[in-house]
Chain A
């Protein structure tokens, strides 16, 4: 405690210099935390979006993910109800949602275009998609649609292409599992936006029964498993792949190309920025302690002469560095926490990222471990900077130090 008090007194010797160093440390810590918090918020959002889109786990025929089908649904799942029921009995799994993926032509009688369709179960599909699917017009698919009036939801850009309105009639044309052509008339129930222009140009959603009817099959393409906790994905994947080795399995990460790309990019950008900031803090503290050491060379000589070991002198300077880092880090953490809170209240929107049409909230989600890691890094940096700048002076000749002017 005595040494800590002495270190605080020594830090306060040159208040302006100490204040500048503390502010640099605080700004550095705040920048790392805010940058890291923003990246973390982005990762969490993209992960959630990817998981909600595909399901945390996707189970299909064993060849579904690796081979190309020669006819539609060649690698579809038969008798999926019993499998779905069995999987649903696992208490970690919240929803088991069947899906039919298909492609074909869509036409309004005047012009046509290709589509990428998903046959979904409206009861659960829109529940799990939540805020990650924007309904621009109309409604989601009915849970119980009339058999003679199948519904379709169009991607925003496709709707624009057809100049389609709600209740307009369109025709879907696709190849059945037998290889013949089949067509079905559908009514526009809603227009949605995924935020990705290319998808909005090609995507349609229909009821799973409609898709099966179009393809003349009872099979489904895959089952999407939505877990209660995203963190449980990989342990559950390991367990289920052992239990159901005859089926094909993927996790949400296998399909989350945007998430993986953004994470790699952000990790590099924020990693480099973090490194630069840490170096800035390092040199700031090194400079401050170094100047203090030079100014107090005579005092160091005196302390050494009256019996202070050189490592004790170095320790005192390291303590001074730690005092600066502690105050700076505390202020930085407070700034970051307040910024995070302020942004959550202000609800500022970021412009859409490249290749996207929808903006997203500017938010900073700083996990506890980022606070701890940043504080630990700054502490270590301060120890190294203080030690480096004081070690030489502490081991200098005492006579030389005492005659220092």
Chain B
């Protein structure tokens, strides 16, 4: 079975003036359809860098990156954007919802990018909002809902296009304990229901109990 994403000896160096800082060293990971993977490690270990590379919003300075079996190390910005649009979903620590769009509009946005018709959009967004328990809030603006609800909107937005992989960067970091537990359960349920792979950068140990793969990073290298 083809992995959704596979890295082969990828490294990432950042240039800071005359200095070259190594963020990742020879990292090899592979994620299948069934992956619900946790990316663990202390701050500065390279979790976000690896996540950005897996999310195709950053490129490794060395090594090969395969998405659904294709080496995309040399893909153009437009090609990478097309892959992200069609096959990836993102959940951010700070929710990153568009403040002038309602809950409904935020979830609908990726479908507009895909050119889905209005009627089908309405059906899919309504169903998704019902699944995440936010249908009564569809007309609310992000500022008018709680942190947990915002993250639910972000999860709905990430999954509305039925992507192959969802990239989640510290999705529970800004939430209280109970809400964080609810969000972890929701993501896991969505993974099971939609068959979407997840890779989650987290410090939250409760996440580990649901994950079927764990990658531990330390100083840019896998342990």
| Interface set of A (CB-CB < 8 Å, partner B) | 2, 6, 9-10, 12-13, 298-299, 302-310, 312, 395, 397-399, 402
Contacts and interface: CB of A to CB of B under 8 A. Distances in A.
B219 to A, nearest CB: 20
5 contacts: A6-B100, A6-B101, A307-B84, A307-B85, A402-B96
Contact of A306 (B77, B78, B85): B85
Interface string B52-89: 10010110000000000000000001100110111011
Contact of B58 (A10, A299, A398): A398
Contacts of B88: 307
> Nearest 5 A-B pairs (CB), nearest first?
A307-B85, A9-B100, A398-B57, A302-B96, A307-B84
B92 A308 contact: no
Nearest to B157: A306
Given A299-B96, A307-B110, A399 B81 contact: no
Nearest to B85: A307
A9 B141 CA distance: 12
Nearest to A10: B100
Question: Chain A interface mostly helix, strand, loop or mixed?
Answer: helix
Interface residues of B, number: 26
A309 B82 CA distance: 8
A252 B158 CA distance: 74
A299 B98 contact: yes
Contacts of B100: 6, 9-10, 12-13
B98 A307 contact: no
Nearest to A8: B100
A307 to B, nearest CB: 3
A306 B110 contact: yes
A303 B98 CA distance: 9
Interface in B151-186: 157-158
A312 B114 CA distance: 13
A123 to B, nearest CB: 73
B92 A302 contact: yes
Contacts of B198: none
Interface centre among A304, A305, A308 (most CB of B within 10 A): A305
A123 B207 CA distance: 104
Contact of B52 (A6, A309, A312, A399): A399
A12 B89 CA distance: 29
B119 to A, nearest CB: 14
Contacts of A309: 78, 81
B101 A306 contact: no
A395 B78 CA distance: 11
Given A399-B52, A399-B57, A402-B92, A306 B98 contact: no
B188 interface: no
Contacts of B58: 397-399
Contacts of A305: 55, 57, 84, 90
Interface in B83-115: 84-86, 88-90, 92, 96, 98-101, 109-110, 112-113
B112 A306 contact: no
A265 B101 CA distance: 52
Residue among A305, A306, A399, A402 with most chain B CB within 10 A: A306
A312 to B, nearest CB: 8
A264 B99 CA distance: 53
A395 B76 CA distance: 13
A2 B112 contact: yes
Interface string B134-148: 000000000000000
